Structure 1
């Protein structure tokens, strides 16, 4: 048996998420595919990537872009074949990289054979592999769902099945019925079909989708009324961090993961308390290696349910609070954390945390974000296109360009309300926060569709209008590009791993609403420190006295900066204590 505690190769890793539909199309059908990804492995290796995380490529009707799986052991034909995945494993391993897949086992597609059997009759052996409940009836005799819970994709969480005259539970779309993890036979089938099958083929682990939702509260009672304008009420307390969740994750390790050299990173929503998160990532508990905690990346969103796309302007001090909390919660423990600001479910970082104006601040703020992310403690995750500063879709694109089921459901719900102000508010929120922004095709070069697919093909999503200006080929030729800066930062992160990957974090000037400053101290030598100073505004800022004194104490030695004029061993001019718009620097004292 392999000890997962004594071999934490994943702590120092940079993990790069690939969204297969949008990365690289090799055959001109408008869909990205696995052979296309294989053709770009040298690009990822040169960038400094250690692990490729491939988002769902399994057989699926694509109601939710592959998060509705109909067969765990097949590949969706436009993406390729199982043999293509084998080639991807070999291609990663031959370059010293690893490959992890998405493990989506809170739910399946309604087209999965398990669910087809489950809904075929009430006495089918797989009936209890899913969650079925009888109807309720109101005082007028009208049939009603078992509870009033609101789903993540708008509407309710229950769908009526005419054949067996019961409702089935789905936290997401009705196409995605939830599996019943309380059923042991169901769990064993998951371990065999969704995990061992791929681990035996050489896959190195999993990003575990919706990991804290396997265990539901079984009372199935109504949630309290918090949205008087809807019959459906948010109820994450009914299905997140349920009574058996830690039992299930420990069993997953005992049954499967402990027998392989793997990494797991869980998607942990609705879990704001550090102590509660530590229960999942404590090495001694042997559940998950690390998790994605979403306080910071959800800045600006509503409650995640009915008001998710009611955008709320946020303050830098709030961002600092979240970063500090999740940097420090592992100090003095056996837990581990993650670093990320983009993924397939959120808008682009440069548009949300920086400034995507190509006229002025796009390049500088994209580099500032790179410097910020690469200096934080934990395992670093990048999302495809982040390294070239890809931006949100243009604001003038109509709702028809938004392909995501969540975006369309929220927009349709707003339209059905008959309230023009609500429609406008939701559309504004989508223009900033929608999942679609991260899913437009990767911008490889300035050829049609950004080089994502053949010139005469029709891509499944429209390429960004700015691909002639923002693309990988252009940036590969430019040593001062965003891409080149990401390469430099990833190398620097490895060179100073004791400071940036494993070091302690101490926030400075916590109340400053424009400049984010912190000290990272080495895990090996407490005399070895780095000072990170980041201007999160479009204004030129004077460095505070506190930070300025520390710069002087450290000899004003600049390790790296987003401003080329400060790329020197030591500076002493007036610029030292001024920060340009979206400028970032690292000072080092050792």
Structure 2
């Protein structure tokens, strides 16, 4: 990507970076496009869809893991960091993808999973061979408790103990996720050196950077019970920056479930020498139940959602950078979670896009979001493929949650909602494959698909494309200050972006019925209609009637 790091005149403190005005598109390779009819998406399928992504206007493709893996957790269990999983393709195909994407002005972001490996990784195979093996200290081992049981009460994120006994050596190894995902020991400098060498190997192949899986866990202090934000976490990230991507003009984004507005700048402050930005999940977890987590959701609360977004906009206003997203491979479909996918699927999907893309930060689109894909209505646990869902089904039922209640929660929040095949057309299997897909296609593909969306100039696809283009052409959308209004209104999201005499006013209804809106005098303005989902609006008046899920943005100059 080109280097554009000159300072923005009169905009204050932030130097320009190419990724400030970029939009990232996440691909879950297994579910995106299948080029060889085996029912699994692959690199060839992605290459074949680059023209579609170029038409959308995106700048970066983030690929969920494509490394060699036994696929216990769909690729987040890596057995070889420097090879491609055979079901996805080859290194030669990957290099071809990088070149073909670059020809279209698109960079490739790889998913870096270095909190843990697969139990089939050669490091772990060696580590469990004997207690004195040179690779033993690449992982985290503990002796059994005095009663012979697990060393501590730590629980896996996928359910059950975070320790598994290795009978051959008589010790337990730590795994914060699946038992087949042993955690790496980042306290060992040899581990860090190997990871940095691997990262540079990929960077030298011309990638645009890394998305870093659960990176806030690498500094864990196991015996102290500290998993996130351990004492040496930022030392490790600063070392990583120095040894790998620091001198390069690339994008790095960390997945940090533990981040708060108070800690975010430790990761992405411009003088910290760590990451470009982080993913934070406050707006996601605020709807989770205290006892059953995401498997039993709380009702949607727009006031709480606005408070979360506004808090983060303010926290990173003058330093650091926000990542803007509704969904990803671990989360439900945006229009099903935050909009109305039954009565107003198109209007609410467009409103979600408008609200997100016009905030300050780098927007991320998850595959299918640009055509309004929805959650999948599975009826039985046998239809799910996700290891987390299957594990939590068993544990939730043991804890007293009813089967139908769990299925309801899974239909709302299971990771498989995001993993059903991309809906390309109304052809069999949604045009994803001519074989049998690894997971069932959402039955609404005949109505919701990319072919229909591209042909319809009023579709969700073209709405996203227009928003992406607006970010590239308006500095006020990239760098303008953010101010929210009507924070306690239960049905509308209102904010402005202001920069050097320009103001963008964004007004969005989250109501399924028409509403009368009283706006303060300071918001009343007339200017250019930037984007809308009903009809153009160029004047913001003191009293307005909004249609269900209506949204628009007005640009005022001077």
Q: SS at 2:219's partner residue?
A: coil
Q: Name the structure 2 match of 1:436.
A: 416
Q: Is the contact between residue 301 and residue 433 of structure 1 (CA under 8 Å) also seen in structure 2?
A: no
8 Å CA contact 1:302, 1:312 repeated in 2: yes
Partner Cα separation in structure 2 for residue 203 and residue 492 of structure 1: 26
1:373 aligned to which of 356, 377, 389: 356
- CA positional deviation for 1:324: 0.1
The answer as to whether partners of 2:72 and 2:180 remain within 8 angstroms in 1 is yes
- Is the 2:538–2:554 contact (alpha carbons within 8 Å) kept by the matching residues of 1? no
5+ residue gaps, structure 2: 6-13
Partner of 2:502: 528
* 1:488 Cα deviation after fit: 1.3
Distance in 2 (CA, whole Å) between partners of 1:483 and 1:545 is 30
Q: SS in structure 1 opposite 2:496?
A: strand
Instruction: State the match for 2:37 in structure 1.
Output: 28
**1:11 corresponds to:** 20
Offset of residue 389 of structure 1:
0.3
> Residue 200 of structure 1 aligns with which residue?
204
Partner residue, 2:157: 152
C-alpha displacement at 1:484, in angstroms? 1.2
1:403 alignment counterpart = 385
Q: Structure 1 residues 499, 61: CA separation in 2 closer, same or farther (over 3 Å shift)?
A: same
Match of 1:290 in 2: 277
CA distance in 2, matches of 1:186, 1:66: 20
The C-alpha deviation readout for 1:369-398, integer Å capped at 9, x for no partner, is 11111111001111100000000002x532
Taking structure 1 as reference, are residues 64 and 531 closer, same or farther at Cα in structure 2, changes over 3 Å only?
Answer: same
Match of 2:373 among 390, 393, 400: 390
Give the SS at the match of 2:100.
helix
Q: Distance between the aligned counterparts of 2:295 and 2:155, measured in 1? A: 15
1:213 shift after superposition: 0.6
* Equivalent residue, structure 2, for 1:215: 219
Q: How does 1:156-555 map to 2 (within 5 A)?
A: 156-193=161-198, 195-220=199-224, 238-272=226-260, 274-302=261-289, 307-332=293-318, 334-357=319-342, 360-394=343-377, 396-417=378-399, 419=400, 421-454=401-434, 457-496=435-474, 498-522=475-499, 525=500, 527-546=501-520, 549-550=521-522, 553-555=524-526
Which whole-Å CA distance do the structure 2 matches of 1:182 and 1:507 have between them? 43
Q: 1:534-568 CA deviation, whole Å, 9 max, x = no partner?
A: 1111011111232xx345x31265332110xx326
Q: Which runs of 5+ in 1 are unaligned?
A: 222-237
Q: CA deviation at 1:206?
A: 0.1
**Aligned twin of 2:129:** 120
Distance 1:145 1:220, change over 3 A: farther
Distance 2:508 2:120 in 1: 49
Following the alignment from structure 2 to structure 1, what is the Cα–Cα distance between the partners of residues 36 and 173? 39
Once the two structures are superposed, what CA deviation does each residue of 1:563-584 show, in whole Å capped at 9, x if it has no partner? 0xx3265598x9x711011110
- Over aligned residue pairs, what C-alpha RMSD do you find? 1.8
SS in 2 for 1:483: helix
Query: Matched residues in 2 for 1:486 and 1:442: separation?
Result: 17
- Provide the rounded CA distance (Å) in 1 between the counterparts of 2:173 and 2:292: 22
Does residue 87 in structure 1 map to residue 96 in structure 2? Answer: yes
Distance 2:40 2:222 in 1: 41
Query: SS of 2:484's equivalent?
Result: strand
Q: Which residue of 2 aligns with 1:577?
A: 544
**Is contact 1:377–1:500 with CA below 8 Å preserved after alignment?**
yes
* Contact 1:170 1:178 survives alignment (8 Å): yes
8 Å Cα contact 1:410-1:426 kept in structure 2:
no
With normalisation by structure 2, the TM-score equals 0.95
